[in-house]
Structures are given as structure tokens and as C-alpha cells.
Amino acid sequence: MQRCIPLLAALVLGFVVPDPSLAATWNVPSPECPTIQAGLDSAATSDTVLVAAGEYQESLFWPYRNGIVLIGAGMDSTVVVGDQSECVLLMVDVVEIDSTTVVQDLCLRGGGDAGLILYGASPHLRLCLVDSTHNGPGIACFSQSRAVIGNCHITDNQGPGILIEACDSALVIKENAILRNVTTEYGGGIYCGEQCSATIWGNVIAQNTALSGGAGVFCSHGASPKVVSNTISANAAPSGHGGGIYCWEYSYASILDNVIANNTAEQNGGGIYCTECSPAVQGNWILGNEAAYGGGIACCCWSPHPEISENILANNVALYDGGGLYCYHNIPSPIQRNALVRNFAVRNGGGMACVDESFPALSNSTITENVAGSHGDGVYTEDAFPTLSSCNIAFNGYGLHNASYASVPVAQNNWWGHATGPWHSGGNPAGQGDSLSTYAWDFVPWLAEADTTAPPFPPMGLELDGSGENFLVVSWQPVPLADLEAYRIYFDSDTTGFPYADTLDVGNVTQALLPSLGVGTTYYIAVTCYDHGNDESWYSAELIASTNNPAANADASDKWLTLRLDPNLPNPFRAQTAISYFVPAHGRAQLEVYDLQGRRVVTLEDAIKALGWHSVLWNGRDEAGLRASPGVYFLRLDAGGQRSARKLVLIK
């Protein structure tokens, strides 16, 4: 046994030593302590067990003493390999074990039923790696454990990364990397059950798999954890629900200010799925998730009162209904101040789908640039009774689609993208805003301008106007918002950072110069806007543009001297289609749509364009703003004395 200076150790390690004069340090391996278990058994309260680098074949049982500090040489250096038939470290709170008990800087690897099990014990676990269990969670916390698990890596376990049962809010899981854990049931990253109300904050929960659902986080049986400021990404539920988060059976989780991105579920809720529960879902970025129903969020089977507010749902995909949000068998629930932007449903409801006696109350929200392969680019309803008010429903093509005469959804006091209101064949045929299906809607009165209580629209039509060796000139369409304050450009040459690192506030203008850029460098650019209250929109569609490289330009091939008109996407299309074209020299460009009889339907572009790529959307309307008849049309592009044409198909 080696005596130490315990007060200095306490200051460095951040724990309290009750009686410095009695504390000791036990070194492993040493003649007195050849194993880690021997060191723990020798240690008294306030003692430190220091474990040298190396691999130790042990299954550890924590002694019934509080305040022991176990420290390795680092999570990659000190590795404890457990027996495949039991856990690597078991800690049972026969006497109180609180946060003065510390496990730090070591790896627990290869346990049988778990890496670490805490029965009521509440240590501070930090800077540790728990990985590669054979058939169980990385860490399991039971019976009112109030542990603090921080700055650890919980990876590659054959069970949930962390399993929590019957633990209150004093259990804290913070700033960990919870990665690549796999379970055949629920909760790949974190499983919360049996009245759990732990705090889950600031973690990266990624690439986990749960066959049944809740691949990132699973909450059930009255669990009400606080899930705050985490990044929950690339998790997969290949046979179930809730790629990112799954809330079930009276769970009242608080899901606040997280990034929930690129998760997938075979069934419902690529980002979040809730059923038979009422979570609070607020202030999250829910991006690029995918599921059969509800790419972003799915609320199904009598979720009583989920509170969904101030979220951004963007670029989510549903293989059937509800690209952004899907509501099925819900009783009334508030959905307030959300932005549903550029979500996609292969079938119905690009932004939101409400079916089978669903009663969501949607207000102060922005639903824009969403696409459905079949019906309801913005919102799709079927035998449902949603109420939409003070919303901006614009630039979706078909803003709302009601598939049944059995219900009359209320959509009063919304803005539809134009002062004339929505186009409705029977109720408002002169409307130039988003379209309504012919089935019954209660949409009168409407707003003459965008509602300023809803999130601002993202700018549209971002394109390159000019370029030089170290600058780019970009422009976009003005955002129709009465309290618009200014625009902000985000740009970077590296796509790994999100959002892009460089910003430029340009005021209330729609063209701007990006100066002092790298020569011959490709940049990724997006634009937002913000209002007088500093509420910022989501990003515009991304523009990829390059500064000029004189050496490369000198050797440019003939392909850059040729006018190019790419196929429009999608084609066929219903609500809108994107058209990209390349102009080989600075000058006037005309892009027009013609019918089969050679009559011009609409002019999409007629302006001076810089050399390079440009893009434009066609919403299927003619020069008068009326929807063109379904059928075959031709695009014709003229620029620089060259002409190119393509066929496109508009469907009902």
C-alpha cells in the first residue's frame, strides 16, 4: 500500500475526501493488490484505487463501502474484460453509494448480461468506455439509482446502450457518445421504463438499432425523462416504430431542443413516434428522417395530448402518408408554431397527414414547399377533424387535401401564399394561393398576408448571379412577410459542419456578394430570413457554386460552351417541379412552357443570367395564375444563340 497526498488528488479529480489524513492510494497491479478486485476489497471510504494500463480478465463486485474512487489510465488503456456469463462490474447499494464513489478512465468490455449494473447505487461514472456486451445493455440502472454518467462512450453492445428502470430525475446521463448498440427489442441507444424520469442531456445517440422500435430512445410504462439538447441521428428501427424516439404507454417525456436527424423506421415515426402517451415535443430540429407513415413525427392510437410546438420539420420522407407529421386516432392536441418545410410523402400528406378521427389543433405554424406523390402536398386529411388557424400554408401546390365528405376540416384565418386566398374549384376559383381539394373545407375567411405569429418562410429561388476568382454573387426571391427584418447567408466549403460555419447578414436585400473566398473553391450556400422579433426561418434549398479557377478555365472542355437543360424533377409532377439549366455565357436566357399545340403557357425565366447553373420551379399554373390542364407540355430554353427542349407531364 502506498500512502498519498489525498487533498491534492481530491482537487484534481473533483471529489470530496471526508478525512484527508486517513485516505490512501492502492496501486494495481502491486504485491498488495495484484487484481482490481483486490484493490477494491482493500480500499476504505475515501481511498483511491489506481489501475495501470493493461488488460484485466475480471468480473468485479463493488464492496459495500461508499466513497471509493477507481481510476484507470484511460478508456483506451485500462481494459477490464468480463466473463461472458455475467456483468463486468456490479454495484449494489446495500449501504448508500453516492457520487463520492467514482469510476473513471477505464474500459468495461465484453460482459455477458451487461457491462455495468447499478442496483440503487449512485456513483459518478466518467470518461469510461463500456462496450461489446454479449447479450445485454452496456449500463443498466435499477431501483432509484441516482448515478451521474458523463463523458463516456457506450458502444457496440448487444442490447440497449443504457437501460433505466425505476430511476428518478436525479439520474443524469450527460455528454456521452452512445453509438452502434443493437437490440432485438426496444431502445437501441437508451431504454427508459417503469416510472423513469432521468435527465438525458447533451448526448450523441447515433447509429443504434432496435428491431421493434425506439432505436435512439425508448420510453414506456409511465417513463417521463427529460430528453434535452441531444443529437439523435442515423438510428434505425428496421421492423418497428420510432427511428429516433418512441414514446409509449403513458409516457410523458419532455423532448426539448434536440437535433433528431436521418433516423429511419419501417412503420411509423422516422424521427418521433408516440402512442397512448402525451409527450411534450418542443424546439427540436427534426430533419431528414424516413418512415412508412410520418417521416418526421407520427402520433397514433389515441395519443391523448401530445404538445408539439416550435419545432422545425424539414426534408423528412414518408413512404406512404405524412412526410412531416402524421396524426392517426388522436383526440384533441395542440400543435403550435412549427415549421414544416420541404417534407416529402410518396403517397399522401407531404407536410402533415390526419386520418381516422384525428383531432389535432394546428396553429401559428408554417407549412411550405412540401410535396406528396399523390394527395395533399401540405396537409392530407381523411375522416379527420383538424383545426388549422393562423398558419401560413403556401408554396406547396396543393396546400390541403380532404379525402372524405364525412368531415369538414376547419381551416379559417390562414394565409395561402396570395391575397386572393386558396384556389378552390367551387368556393374560390379565382384564388391564386395554394390549392384546396374539391371536398368540403371551411376556409373562409382567409388572411390577406402572411401571419407574423408563425415562423418565417425560408427564402426560395436561391441562384448564382455571378462569380469571380474570389467572390460569388447570389440572389433569391423576396419573402412575403410584413415584419421581415433581414436575410442571412450561410456558406462553407466543407459540408461536415451543420449549420454552415460562415454567415453574412445582408439586410433587407435579395442579392448579395460573398467576398474574399478561395480561388477555384466549391461552396455550399443557403439563405434564411428573420423578422423584427429575431425569429429565424429554416434554410433555403441549398446552392452549390464555385469561384473561378483561371488555370482550369483555360483548359475548359467544349461541354462548358454548350447550353444544357436537365430533366425536371419530379416528372410527372402534380404540385411543382424543379428545372435546372446551364448557361454557357453571360447573357439573356428565356425558359418557357408550351402545350402540344405550340401555344406558350407561361414564361418561367426571361432575364440576364450569369454563366453557370440556374434553377426555377414551375407550379403548374399559366400566366394568369390558373392551374394548367393535366397533360404533356414542353420546356424550351433559349440562350446565347442556342436552344434546348424537354418534355414534362402535369398530372391531376
* pLDDT for residue 295: 96
Helix (H) or strand (E) holding 8: helix 6-13
pLDDT tens figures, 153-194: 999 999 999 999 988 889 999 999 999 999 999 999 999 998
Residue 265 in 3-state DSSP? strand
Residue 497: pLDDT band by 50, 70, 90 thresholds? low
What per-residue string of b and e applies to 383-402 under the rule 16 or more CB within 10 Å gives b?
ebbbbbbbbbbbbbbbbbbb
Residue 242 grid cell: 420510432
**C-alpha distance across the termini of the chain, in Å:** 83
With a CB cutoff of 8 Å and minimum separation 6, the contacts of 265 are 213, 215, 236, 237, 240, 241, 242, 243, 273, 289, 290, 291, 292
pLDDT tens figures, 364-383: 999 999 999 999 999 999 88
Mean local confidence (pLDDT), 326-346: 87
Helix (H) or strand (E) holding 41: helix 36-42
Mean pLDDT lowest among 196-210, 280-294, 324-338, 625-639: 324-338
Amino acid identity at 573: F
Mean pLDDT lowest among 79-83, 248-252, 316-320, 568-572: 568-572
Residue 389 grid cell: 388557424
Extended beta strands in 234-300, E state = 236-237, 245-248, 254-256, 259-261, 264-265, 272-275, 280-282, 285-287, 290-293, 297-300
* pLDDT for residue 194: 81
Helix (H) or strand (E) holding 555: none
pLDDT tens figures, 29-61: 999 999 999 999 999 999 999 999 999 999 999
Query: Cell 481511498 sits at which residue?
Result: 47
pLDDT over 70 percentage in the chain: 94
Q: Is the pLDDT of residue 621 over 60?
A: yes
Q: Is the dihedral of CA 139, 151, 241, 362 positive or negative?
A: positive
* pLDDT for residue 434: 94
| Whether 355 contacts 330, CB under 8 Å | no
* pLDDT for residue 89: 97
22: how many CB neighbours lie within 10 A of its CB? Answer: 12
Question: How long, in residues, is the chain?
Answer: 652
Residue 412: pLDDT band by 50, 70, 90 thresholds? very high
* pLDDT for residue 17: 42
* pLDDT for residue 14: 43
| Whether 567 contacts 545, CB under 8 Å | no
Backbone dihedral angles phi then psi of residue 609, each to the nearest 5 degrees? -120, 145
DSSP conformation class of 542? P
Q: What CA–CA distance (Å, rounded) separates 319 from 270?
A: 11
Q: Is the dihedral of CA 171, 304, 209, 187 positive or negative?
A: positive
Q: Is the pLDDT of residue 487 over 70?
A: yes
Q: What CA–CA distance (Å, rounded) separates 412 from 405?
A: 18
pLDDT tens figures, 1-35: 333 333 334 333 444 444 555 689 999 999 999 99
pLDDT tens figures, 185-223: 999 999 999 888 999 999 999 999 999 999 999 999 889
Mean local confidence (pLDDT), 217-233: 95
| Whether 217 contacts 200, CB under 8 Å | yes
Residue 300: pLDDT band by 50, 70, 90 thresholds? confident
Phi-psi label, residue 116: left if phi above 0, alpha if psi -120 to 50, beta otherwise: beta
* pLDDT for residue 303: 61
| Whether 406 contacts 384, CB under 8 Å | no
| Whether 280 contacts 327, CB under 8 Å | no
| Whether 302 contacts 275, CB under 8 Å | yes
* pLDDT for residue 399: 93
Q: Is pLDDT larger for residue 555 or for residue 588?
A: 588
What per-residue string of b and e applies to 214-232 under the rule 16 or more CB within 10 Å gives b?
bbbbbbbebbbbbbbbbbb
- List alpha helices for 485-582, DSSP H: 550-554
Q: Is the pLDDT of residue 480 over 90?
A: yes
How far, rounded to the nearest angstrom, does the alpha carbon of residue 170 sit from its chain's CA centroid?
27
* pLDDT for residue 329: 78
Q: For the chain, what is the mean pLDDT?
A: 89
Residue 316 grid cell: 423528412
What per-residue string of b and e applies to 150-168 under the rule 16 or more CB within 10 Å gives b?
bebbbbbbebbbbbbbbbe
Residue 66: pLDDT band by 50, 70, 90 thresholds? very high
pLDDT tens figures, 107-128: 999 999 999 999 999 999 999 9
* pLDDT for residue 302: 64
pLDDT over 90 percentage in the chain: 67
Residue 546 in 3-state DSSP? strand
Residue 617: pLDDT band by 50, 70, 90 thresholds? confident
The secondary structure of 107-149 as a DSSP string is EEE--SS-SEEEEB---EEES-EEE--SSS-SEEEESS---EE
pLDDT tens figures, 515-568: 889 999 999 999 999 999 999 999 999 999 998 876 654 444 444 467 888 888
* pLDDT for residue 331: 61
Mean local confidence (pLDDT), 426-431: 90
Residue 613 grid cell: 447553373
CA-to-CA dists, residue 584 to 468, 562, 564, 635, angstroms:
15, 6, 8, 18
| Whether 395 contacts 460, CB under 8 Å | yes
* pLDDT for residue 163: 97
Q: What is the dihedral of CA 191, 194, 197, 203, to 10 degrees?
A: -10
Residue 93 grid cell: 447499494
Preceding amide of 445 cis, omega within 30: yes
Residue 553 in 3-state DSSP? helix
